[in-house]
Chains A and B, each alone.
Chain A
Amino acid sequence: EDKVVQSPLSLVVHEGDTVTLNCSYEVTNFRSLLWYKQEKKAPTFLFMLTSSGIEKKSGRLSSILDKKELFSILNITATQTGDSAVYLCACISSGSARQLTFGSGTQLTVLP
């Protein structure tokens, strides 16, 4: 059974701090890993990672994948209150459409 585990489950920081969110996976026929940000409503796409060692960046957010050790990290530097959200990690397997497995998410709270 495919498994995606995120840690920590929740995190409280102050504005300006740097945070690292973790995602480890055990997925058959792994293809890619995705990060989503979920505020009150629907998850919004952040990154898709397919190759090891290539860092993806978008402003203060960055992410990297390690396919040997089966994990990914999402870094957020100089956090702002608007970064408060649940961050979801999901893995795609090759094959049928249903094989996209989500982790339970990390609840990040950024205090002013």
Chain B
Amino acid sequence: NAGVTQTPKFRVLKTGQSMTLLCAQDMNHEYMYWYRQDPGMGLRLIHYSVGEGTTAKGEVPDGYNVSRLKKQNFLLGLESAAPSQTSVYFCASSYYLLDTQLRKLFFGSGTQLSVL
């Protein structure tokens, strides 16, 4: 059982370049999330999805776009990378327990992105 898989694990971009990060989960989870983690800032939510074909903005969405065309995949795009987007990016997925509204996140192993 692979869980949550992120690709690539590392990437270096020049300012203005574009790229797409891929997140895939095999747990049939409805909810998927993209976070970024910067030193001393904890995890901040970029975008999230509550099901196939739906996406919504999180805390820090500017400069990013997402798509969830298939339930198992959640893509994060940077159209024109900026040095401020240098960060570690984590994808996560979760189930939803209807009776308690509780969720536990299952995280991918992260993508280290550097924008020069």
Contact = CB atoms under 8 A, between A and B. Distances in A.
Interface residues of B, number: 27
Interface string B90-108: 1000101000111111011
A102 B43 contact: yes
B50 to A, nearest CB: 5
Given A88-B42, A97-B48, A104-B42, A41 B102 contact: no
Given A41-B109, A41-B110, A102 B102 contact: no
Interface string A68-108: 00000000000000000000101010101110101111000
B48 A50 contact: no
Interface string B46-59: 00101000001011
Given A97-B48, A98-B56, A98-B58, A45 B41 contact: no
Nearest to B102: A32
A43 B37 CA distance: 11
A32 B4 CA distance: 23
Contacts of B4: 42
A92 B108 contact: no
B109 A42 contact: yes
A9 interface: yes
Task: Tell me whether chain A's interface is mostly helix, strand or loop, or mixed.
Answer: strand
Contact of A98 (B45, B90, B100, B107): B45
B35 to A, nearest CB: 8
Which residue of B42, B48, B58, B110 has the most chain A CB atoms within 10 A of its CB atom?
A: B42
B101 A100 contact: no
B90 to A, nearest CB: 6
B103 to A, nearest CB: 6
Given A42-B108, A48-B104, A102 B50 contact: no
Contacts of A9: 40
Contacts of B108: 42
